[in-house]
């Protein structure tokens, strides 16, 4: 029993030493990190503007996306409130000009919903993905809600970090010119 007491007294001291070691490593790693390892990476300069007049949104793109293409698709879902009826809507993919069949570059997928459909997605009375999470809202105008499909970048295709950074910068503007991010200079495509 005396040995058990000694063990119990050593455990908190070893935990404290472990915590101190972790703290020292974290502080030391933070001081050695270079600018590319920052938790707030530099903003990507956006000089191009993809403008979609049909749905009323714009997407700000970097110069390296000059020559991009648009791939029109449809998302598919299930409306649980209508007896599991199959529903669908438009989805656009902004495709990098460097995309090839052999080396696909990460697309920027944009799901388009009516406000009524989006309410169903939020209430989970409509599912548009096999993922256990729903799409992420990117923006909206008076007629449409724009969203990012869940797990869109789980393929880790070339450029997925750049696309995620563009998403994080609120590069989608709906209507054009309205964004949480500062406006970018650029020409319309």
Looking at residue 179, what is its pLDDT?
61
User: Can you give the pTM of this predicted structure?
Assistant: 0.69
Condensed to tens digits (0 to 9), the pLDDT of residues 137-150 reads: 999 999 999 999 98
Condensed to tens digits (0 to 9), the pLDDT of residues 62-114 reads: 999 999 999 999 999 888 888 888 889 999 999 999 999 999 988 999 999 99
CB 92 within 8 A of CB 177: no
The residue ranking higher by pLDDT, 74 or 25, is 74
Q: Which whole-number Å values give the CA distances from 159 to 49, 73, 76, 156, in the listed order? A: 19, 21, 26, 8
**Does residue 129 register a pLDDT over 90?**
no
Q: Among residues of the chain, what percentage have pLDDT more than 70?
A: 72
Q: Work out the pLDDT band at 41, boundaries 50, 70, 90.
A: low
Three-class SS state of 1: coil
Alpha-carbon span 133 to 112, nearest angstrom: 17
């Amino acid at each position: 029993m005396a040995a058990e007491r000694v063990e119990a007294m050593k455990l908190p001291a070893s935990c404290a030493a472990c915590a101190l070691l972790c703290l020292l490593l974290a502080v030391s790693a933070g001081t050695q990190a270079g600018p590319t390892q920052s938790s707030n990476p530099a903003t990507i300069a956006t000089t191009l503007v993809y403008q979609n007049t049909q749905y009323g949104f714009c997407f700000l793109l970097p110069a390296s996306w000059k020559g991009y293409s648009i791939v029109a698709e449809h998302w598919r879902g299930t409306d649980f409130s209508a007896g599991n009826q199959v529903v669908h809507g438009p989805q656009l993919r902004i495709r990098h000009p460097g995309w090839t069949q052999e080396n696909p570059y990460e697309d920027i997928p944009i799901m388009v919903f009516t406000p009524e459909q989006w309410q169903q997605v939020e209430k989970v009375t409509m599912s548009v993905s096999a993922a256990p999470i729903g799409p992420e809202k990117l923006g909206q105008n008076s007629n449409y809600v724009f969203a990012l499909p869940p797990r869109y970048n789980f393929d880790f295709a070339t450029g997925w970090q750049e696309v995620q950074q563009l998403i994080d910068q609120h590069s989608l503007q709906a209507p054009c010119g309205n964004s949480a991010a500062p406006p970018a200079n650029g020409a319309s495509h």
